Structure 1
Amino acid sequence: MNNICIICPYDYPIPAVKGGAIEQVVDGICTINEIEHLLNITVLTTFDDEAQKLGDHYKYSKFVIFKKYKIDKFIFFVFRVLKKIFKIYIPTSYRMTKIKKWIVENEHNFDFFIFEDGLTYMIPYLFKNIDRKKVLTHLHWIGDPNKKTNKYFSYLLPVSNYVGENWKKQSGTSKVPIKVLKNGINLDNFTKDLAADEQLVLKRSLGIKDDSFVVLYIGRIVKEKGILRLIEAIERLDEEDITLIIIGSAKFAEKSMTDYEKEVYKRIETSHCLIVHLGFVQNSELYRYQKISDIAIIPTIVEEAAALVSIECMAAGLPLIATNSGGLPEYADTSCSIIVSKGESMIDELITAIKCLKSDKQLKEKMSNNAVKEAQKYSLKNTYFDLVHFLSKLT
């Protein structure tokens, strides 16, 4: 049985009580391992009282907690300046130096280190003195590809073919060992039923008419996600029986508000359309809003590595409208999704796609059924067993 150490991102804790896409995947792998116990897992994660209490109940996963420090923001600022101007890479935080020390001291206890943190430029710093055969990089975005980083890990585990091919291209070599390890979700969270009368109660509590056609957006409120373009498409449709529900914030469960969020909220407040913004909603509660929705839209305007929300909405039976962004089409099968451009014609294509699914109930129902079937490919169990199988081949 392999002993693995998973190095997780800075911002949010595991168990994933504050949200976060990567955090939910790692949390899910640990949860399934409690049942299957095919791995001994140690997770390096961020301190949080609630998460720490939950983590104490895991039998086959150990959570090593690293605190955030006040000086971290200043260090990260210096890091960004040095990186941009001089191409010099210092640790991104004081916390990162603590993690490096822990890894060096405990290397002998592990068969593999899996780097889940998106800061790939930290790989040379963290693993300089570690056997590269032990180091795997599970990449959830396009990363920061370069030949130097390639020297410090044995395998790249991108969440989509797009991410893997982009890494090879940008790092200038085709020799990077790659194994695509696609994201998965807890399907049970999104296949729950919500009785018809409960759906009506929820709709009315949000000020939504019983027969309204509901369009759903779930994701962070950041410019890259294209929310303002989606709002413009809804406004240009100008149909009274269409409602847009927006779920999410810039920083998941954190309550601070960015300038972009303020811009989005102002647009919502002044819109002549019915737009309901709910802020952050716990993953376990999303199904309630999916069940009162007709379709889901993922309007990303940058290259998306892969979107968990696409799987979540498919599992809930929602037809998708998504942009042709990076690895997103690899998850959003055409049998249950309409792919639109993220370029100049995006808003017009969104309008056309929404009209199509609103007017063609038979097509919408067919895509809904296909979505549920397609989502079965992306269970956390599949991700877990893919990882276990791959690690067994390496040992």
Structure 2
Amino acid sequence: MRKKVIIITNGTLPVPAIFGGAAENLTQVLLEINEDFNDFDFTVFSIGKNKIKSKEFLAFKNTNFVFINEDSFFFKLNKIVKYLLNKKFNNRFPNQFLSTVLKYKKELKNADLILISNNPYYGKHLKEIVSCPIYLHLHNDYINANQGDDKIRLLNYFDKVIGVSNFIKKSVLKVTPKSCKVSYVYNGIDLNRFTLFNEVLESYLKKKYNLNKEDTVFIYSGRMQESKGIVFLLESFLTLLKKHKNIKLLFVGGTVYYNSKINEVTKNLIRRVESSLASEHVFFTGFVDYKYMHHYYKISNVAVLPSIETEAFGLTSIESQAAGLPVIVSDVGGMSETINKDCGFIVNVTGDLKSQLVHFMDKLIEDETLRKEMSKKALLNAQKFSNSFFYKQIKSELNEL
């Protein structure tokens, strides 16, 4: 008999992952592969009742979706009320999304296991209703020794925490009670997607961004936030532009996953590019739908992901390598776990970040042989992060008592 597993999303972005999101995309991978192996009966609680089209979820035979209408007046009003109450009383109450989920008591009580996606506050409220194990799939460094006792105590309501990297596992292990197991499973992606070509579309993109055959094209993909190290990346590129004329830089991403609205950080970067007369070398794409992302990697030569904030893992690093790109990453959090010395370089954020970026980027501009060799190694390294391997590992974790 198949195990009945309820997945409670964070309630920020919908599943199916029509608006992207790392946790949401990974949940969708789990659901999709389960369609082939029929290991679990999933029920997924998600927002998006008025956004998800039937074609997005009817193909799933082993998953029942319960969509919450986050656009209703009642939901929006209570969302504000719950937010204010939790701000005053230290997150004592369930937020409006979870409050709605908790009304489905019959479904919750019939579950063999509940898997919460990336929200450590949900466990204590569910523990009051269910007797089955509750697991937390942790995608961010939300619980560590630097957090207050109130947040650390949230682990008492979970039977297991599954981190997305060894870094997350180690952080949680420092504070977890004996009653809570801790493990990790690396994120997985559909590697085949990133090997696909579309000559017409990619030729169009090359023309749009003025990319020539002799250019070395650097790409940053992710949210346009200063904490991602994008200011250091731009300054490093502008320094290199004084030496190399055949280089380009693509900033691919929006303020949030599905929003192309330009934020102040991006505006400042654009002004810096214009004042440096580099508009023919630096381009800002805005948000790009995940289903088109591999085409942007395919028109690039090197990925640079110099985050200065703690990264739990680094999915964009894996995507880049799956497309055959050498990668330059920072040493914060679990990002460095995604590469090895043969396929990428690691910069130390506590050192002179700009000079390190300039050094490694310059090395890859000047040494085409090295770049091509690292490209081959990147493809090999990406094999460790396939969606099938992720499914095998997460299946083992969900079946473990």
Same fold by TM-score, threshold 0.5 exceeded?
yes
Gap regions ≥5 residues in structure 1 = none
Distance 1:92 1:390 in 2: 27
Residue equivalent to 2:122: 122
Q: Structure 1 residue aligned with 2:215, among 212, 216, 236?
A: 212
Residue equivalent to 1:235: 238
Distance 2:82 2:348 in 1: 35
Quick check: 1:334 aligned with 2:338?
Answer: no
Residue equivalent to 2:147: none
Q: Quick check: 1:230–1:347 contact (8 Å CA) kept in 2?
A: yes
Distance 1:344 1:46, change over 3 A: same
Q: Quick check: 1:147–1:173 contact (8 Å CA) kept in 2?
A: no
Distance 1:211 1:73, change over 3 A: farther
Quick check: 1:166 aligned with 2:171?
Answer: yes
Query: How much is the aligned-residue C-alpha RMSD, in angstroms?
Result: 2.2
Count of residues in Structure 1 that have an aligned counterpart in Structure 2: 385
Distance 2:94 2:235 in 1: 38
Q: Structure 2 residue aligned with 1:66, among 65, 68, 83?
A: 68
Quick check: 1:392 aligned with 2:399?
Answer: yes
- Once the two structures are TM-superposed, the CA of residue 17 in structure 1 deviates from its matched residue by 0.9
Distance 1:38 1:173 in 2: 30
Q: Structure 2 residue aligned with 1:95, among 94, 97, 101?
A: 97
Q: Quick check: 2:86–2:92 contact (8 Å CA) kept in 1?
A: no
Quick check: 1:189 aligned with 2:193?
Answer: yes
Distance 1:387 1:319 in 2: 28
Q: Quick check: 2:230–2:306 contact (8 Å CA) kept in 1?
A: yes
Q: Which residue identity is paired with 1:100? A: L
Distance 1:130 1:268, change over 3 A: farther
Distance 1:228 1:79 in 2: 37
Q: Quick check: 1:12–1:20 contact (8 Å CA) kept in 2?
A: yes
Distance 2:273 2:318 in 1: 27
Distance 1:172 1:284, change over 3 A: closer
- Once the two structures are TM-superposed, the CA of residue 205 in structure 1 deviates from its matched residue by 2.1
Where do 1:236-385 residues align within 5 Å?
236-238=239-241, 239-273=244-278, 274-385=281-392
Superposed CA offset, 1:319-364 (max 9, x none): 0000001011111222211000123411110000001111111211
Where do 1:75-154 residues align within 5 Å?
75=81, 77-78=83-84, 81-82=87-88, 88-91=90-93, 93-102=95-104, 104-116=105-117, 118-131=118-131, 134-145=133-144, 146-154=151-159
Instruction: Report percent identity of matched pairs.
Output: 26
Distance 1:271 1:7 in 2: 48
Distance 1:73 1:256 in 2: 24
Residue equivalent to 2:13: 12
Quick check: 1:226 aligned with 2:229?
Answer: yes
Distance 1:198 1:55 in 2: 28
- Once the two structures are TM-superposed, the CA of residue 297 in structure 1 deviates from its matched residue by 0.7
Distance 1:223 1:369, change over 3 A: same
Q: Quick check: 2:79–2:96 contact (8 Å CA) kept in 1?
A: no
Distance 1:392 1:74, change over 3 A: closer
Residue equivalent to 2:23: 22
Distance 2:253 2:78 in 1: 26
SS where residue 287 of structure 1 aligns?
Answer: helix
Distance 2:378 2:363 in 1: 17
Q: Which residue identity is paired with 1:284? A: K
Superposed CA offset, 1:85-108 (max 9, x none): x6x213363222111232x33233
- Once the two structures are TM-superposed, the CA of residue 176 in structure 1 deviates from its matched residue by 4.1
- Once the two structures are TM-superposed, the CA of residue 48 in structure 1 deviates from its matched residue by 4.6
Distance 1:73 1:212, change over 3 A: farther
Superposed CA offset, 1:55-77 (max 9, x none): 12211111111122322553465
SS where residue 57 of structure 1 aligns?
Answer: coil
Where do 1:173-184 residues align within 5 Å?
176-184=180-188
Gap regions ≥5 residues in structure 2 = 145-150
- Once the two structures are TM-superposed, the CA of residue 381 in structure 1 deviates from its matched residue by 1.3
SS where residue 122 of structure 2 aligns?
Answer: helix
Q: Quick check: 1:204–1:210 contact (8 Å CA) kept in 2?
A: no
